[in-house]
Chain A
């Protein structure tokens, strides 16, 4: 499907991190900006980090204009990605529902729906009886925090996590991008405030530009170039059940009791938990976090009470103080960061890669990612999306 080349001595652009965002960046750099000499360097195998560890939920119902434009840019790309890459993304717009459990939730969500509609997004309010019609197995009234309504985005949904990594990888490979797996970038070398290349487990590789898309490990790499980023890395867990017949045909998220669930095409329930309450790079996560999520799932869907869970895993997510990403240049010339996606980067994969490629190619941000700069942490123009991020952290 793609070659496994040995690294060349020098590249125009080195992308650190072979997840969906990194491979997508390589694809758009080659396709839209005509950059020829590109390498994607991945320490494991492509898509083995958070691309392979998330719950594949896609939506764009974010509160602020900046986020709505960024995430909806991504949803629009998702809508045509199977055709564009000629590879089945299994993109299924089955809708995403965010439940309200109290008065505050209702007010916050209705405000968000209004903001969404002003930005042209398709979010709408559902009353409890409409929720019940869409998800008959949900227990809406006989629980501690009853379901009082929901925000629903019909264009939201799920996609196959491997497909986006593999699709971008195949098409990038065809355009001559070197995808170098099992090669760890250990250091970013700089001289006189300019990037020189990267030191890897396969030796030094020279580069005119280095683009870091390493999710949880971004701040570790940035430190080697003397750059400090406002990120904290934490484990985020997910789990899947044994496969069952179709019971839930949409994605249901609940911020307040912290449980979200969808059903994969194989029939497994895909359940997302919250982040651990402390920094860690263990890729495991604590049991108490899963316990809390599973408790909420069983209360919301009593019929899941007797199901067995098959697998549980954790990924390391990099969280920004305002729960919005950083897609930005930095003080080192030729060094670019796409990070801080925290608990919700998968949905943004094609959009993020698309605007990041623009930023790297032109050495200036695309108008969509211009607000997602590093300067916002000193000039105060934060994009506070803790409400829409929908994962407790």
Chain B
């Protein structure tokens, strides 16, 4: 079970939150002139990495505020939580957290970064 450290309320169970999918997806500026392919990319296509994933969460059953998280989708380990408007941390800053080639820690898993 994942614990998520809400930047406003503190650590709570994941079932209190809802995932908002990939973070930092900007609506295209020129939507009036966008062709179908690019519009489809914006509407339907999202990153789906095995590993470092920048995503949005909302504390649905709490403060109802949105925030961003960086999570390793191969372990569900939450590496960083930051508020909307803050700069996203660089991908390189998490490279040493991938402990095996496929990203899984050797023994067990769990989001120990949050617990620190």
Binding site for B on A (CB under 8 A): 217, 219-220, 223, 228-233, 277-282, 284, 286-288, 318, 321, 377-380
Residue of A nearest to B46 (CB): A232
Q: Is the CB of A288 within 8 A of B15?
A: yes
Question: Do B14 and A288 touch across chains, with their CB atoms under 8 A apart?
Answer: yes
Nearest 7 CB-CB pairings of A with B: A378-B40, A278-B19, A288-B15, A219-B48, A230-B44, A378-B36, A377-B44
By beta carbon, the residue of chain B nearest A282 is B76
Given A220-B48, A230-B44, 6 other A-B residues pairs in contact with their CB atoms under 8 A: A228-B45, A277-B19, A278-B55, A377-B40, A377-B44, A377-B45
Contact status B18-A281, CB under 8 Å? no
What A residues does B49 contact at CB under 8 A? 220, 223
Q: Chain B CB within 10 Å — which of A229, A231, A278, A378 has the most?
A: A278
Candidate in B2, B39, B40, B49 with the most chain A CB atoms within 10 angstroms: B40
Nearest opposing residue in chain B for A382, CB measure = B44
Q: Smallest distance from the beta carbon of B94 to chain A beta carbons, Å?
A: 16
Chain B 1-28 interface mask (CB, 8 Å, partner A; 1/0)? 1100000000001110011010000000
- A321 and B44 contact, Cβ closer than 8 Å, known pairs A232-B21, A278-B55, A279-B53: yes
A233-B1 in contact (CB<8A)? no
Considering only residues 73-116 of chain B, those with a C-beta below 8 Å from chain A are: 73-76, 109
- Check A286–B14 contact: CB distance below 8 A: yes
12 pairs from A and B in contact (CB 8 Å cutoff):
A217-B50, A228-B45, A230-B44, A282-B74, A282-B75, A286-B14, A288-B14, A288-B15, A321-B43, A377-B40, A377-B44, A379-B36
Interface size on B, residues (CB 8 A): 27
Give every chain B residue within 8 A of A232 (Cβ-Cβ).
21, 46, 48
**Is B37 a contact partner of A279 (Cβ separation < 8 A)?**
no
- Chain B positions within 8 Å of A378 at CB level: 36-37, 39-41
- Residue from A228, A231, A279, A288 within 8 A of B19 (CB atoms): A279
Q: Which of A277, A281, A287 contacts B73 (CB 8 A)?
A: A281
Q: How many angstroms from the CA of A233 to the CA of B53 in the assembled complex? A: 12
Q: A287 contacts which of B1, B39, B40 (Cβ < 8 Å)?
A: B1
Bound together, the chains give a CA A284 to CA B76 distance in angstroms of: 10
Check B37 against A231 for contact (C-beta < 8 Å): no
- Nearest CB in chain B to that of A284: its residue: B76
* In the complex, residue of chain A having the shortest beta-carbon distance to the beta carbon of B2: A286
Q: Are A230 and B14 in contact (CB under 8 A)?
A: no
Which residue of B is nearest A279, CB measured? B73
In whole angstroms, what is the CA distance A287 to B14 when docked?
A: 10
When chains A and B are docked, how far (Å) is the Cα of A286 from the Cα of B49? 19
CA–CA, A286 and B2, complex, Å: 8
Residues from chain A with a CB closer than 8 A to the CB of B74 are 281-282
- The one of A223, A230, A282 that contacts B46, using a Cβ cutoff of 8 Å: A230
Whole-angstrom distance between the Cβ of A17 and the nearest chain B Cβ: 15
Could you say which residues of chain B place their CB within 8 Å of the CB of A220? 48-50
Contacts of B73 in A (CB 8 A): 233, 279-282
Q: Indicate if the CB atoms of A286 and B1 lie closer than 8 Å.
A: yes
* Chain B residue at minimum C-beta to C-beta distance from A231: B48
Residue of A nearest to B1 (CB): A287
Specify the chain A residue showing the minimal Cβ separation from B103.
Answer: A281
Kindly list chain B residues whose C-beta atoms are within 8 Å of the C-beta of A288. Answer: 1, 13-15
A145 CA to B91 CA, complexed, in Å: 46
Q: A residues within 8 A CB of B46?
A: 230, 232
